[in-house]
Amino acid sequence: MDRETRSAVPSFHVAAGGCVRGEVTVPGDKSISHRAVLLGGIAQGTTEVEGFLESEDCLATLNAMRAMGVNVERPAPGRVVIDGAGLRGLKAPAQALDMGNAGTAMRLSMGLLAGQAFDSTLVGDESLSKRPMERAAAPLRQMGARIDTTAGHPPVTLHGGARLSGIDYQLTVASAQVKSAILLAGLYADGVTTVREPAVTRDHTERMLRAFGVPVTSAGGVISLAGGAELKASYLHVPGDVSSAAFFLVAGALAAEGSFLVRDVGMNPTRTGAIEILRLMGADLRVVNPRLAGDEPVADVEVRASRLKGITVPPSLVPLAIDEFPVLFVAAACAEGTTVVTGAEELRVKESDRIQAMAQGLHALGIQAEPLPDGLRIHGGTLGGGTVRSHGDHRVAMAFAIAALKATRPVLIEDVANVATSFPGFAAIARQAGIAIEERR
């Protein structure tokens, strides 16, 4: 990217140091918002969703369902009303379905569309077009789907009229997106579809299928459902996204003034790896006011400034914190000693190669970070300041905004437009908390 082009790309300028105080509430969970629209669209009756994340990623899913004939209304911020078309009621879209930057939307839609009577094509932006889709396409083909990828990447074309059969599938990589794609295709398959996980992954799809009346069994990493079950409309409340909350939990652990509160955080046990990792590092975190939002547990999280120490992250926690690692790497950079993460090769095929992107950014701020094939070794130290490239990755951009709290000089983060894909309003909420962040063009 040349200098002139860079100057036209949005950036964050974050002052060095400072503290966070008071309380914040983060937007609704992205993973749950995607699933609410997809399943509401194929349910019988009217589904109401409160707390829907109005991010670019989730709106791409919503617009795709509209393009297939589902009536979706947005009567108020965060509220979505979906008139479901039923299991077999979707219609052929007039053009390719644009998933923007949303890998979740694309992979889950592959499962949903594999058993439809019509052809469909899924496309995405430049970043999504580089992400691997064969990991979802391969098991769907075993079920009988006819799917073409483009050298393993989007665009993805699904040919209608395929007769699907249930399979018993062992995931090679712990991936909730691939698991969900198979289960959604299983709704349209003859017989029983079973997915076996090598490690526990987020279970939002299973929980939400049950909320829509679909019998799903899950035990010991084995999830099964029978094809043909009709989904019944439901009321869904989307809790705050723990992946978004993680930025402020780390901010609090690094620089809270007194007690800092993050409200309404989704506490699904398959998503709380970041909280457990921070506690192992010595973070002073308290989960308070636990409650349920539909089938999803929710709580407030109270955090105080803490003296963090480097750890070797237990492998069992890696899949439970896969989206939170960019900001956890920042916590590691501010900790005493060395932190080692392995078993996280999935980070290399996210919106960017997050292992490489975070290593480069930490180096730019004066931290020694050694990329590993499946993780990162970080030696804690003093963060300087300077310019960091986000590589167009929203979580990398936000992570380095939090890093500025412990920097000795301002931090400039380039290319932050994609922050809106997952966390619209991030900069405003960060300023509310006390972080001196400016958005510049």
**Which residues participate in catalysis according to the annotation?**
323
Q: Give the C-alpha distances (Å, rounded to integers) separating 305 from 64, 270, 406.
A: 43, 26, 12
Determine if residue 425 is left, alpha or beta; phi over 0 gives left, psi from -120 to 50 gives alpha, anything else beta: left
The single residue listed with the structure tokens 């405003």 is: 428
Phi, psi of 82 (to 5 degrees): -120, 120
CB 164 within 8 A of CB 189: yes
- Which of 268, 235, 403, 396 has its CA nearest to residue 335? 403
Q: For residue 348, what is the DSSP state?
A: G
| Helical H segments across 187-257, by residue range | 204-211, 242-255
| Dist CA 267 CA 273 (whole Å) | 10
Q: Give the C-alpha distances (Å, rounded to integers) separating 82 from 35, 41, 294, 340.
A: 12, 6, 17, 45
| Dist CA 338 CA 170 (whole Å) | 35
- Which of 159, 160, 203, 166 has its CA nearest to residue 188? 166
Task: Determine how many CB atoms are found less than 10 A away from the CB of residue 3.
Answer: 6
- Percent helix, strand, coil in the chain, to 5, is 35, 30, 35
Three-class SS of residue 292?
A: strand
List residues bridging with 257 in a β-sheet.
Answer: none
170 CB-near residues (< 8 Å, 6+ apart):
196, 198
| Dist CA 203 CA 4 (whole Å) | 45
| Dist CA 21 CA 19 (whole Å) | 7
The single residue listed with the structure tokens 């990589």 is: 173
5 CB-near residues (< 8 Å, 6+ apart):
none
90 CB-near residues (< 8 Å, 6+ apart):
41, 42, 68, 69, 70, 116, 118
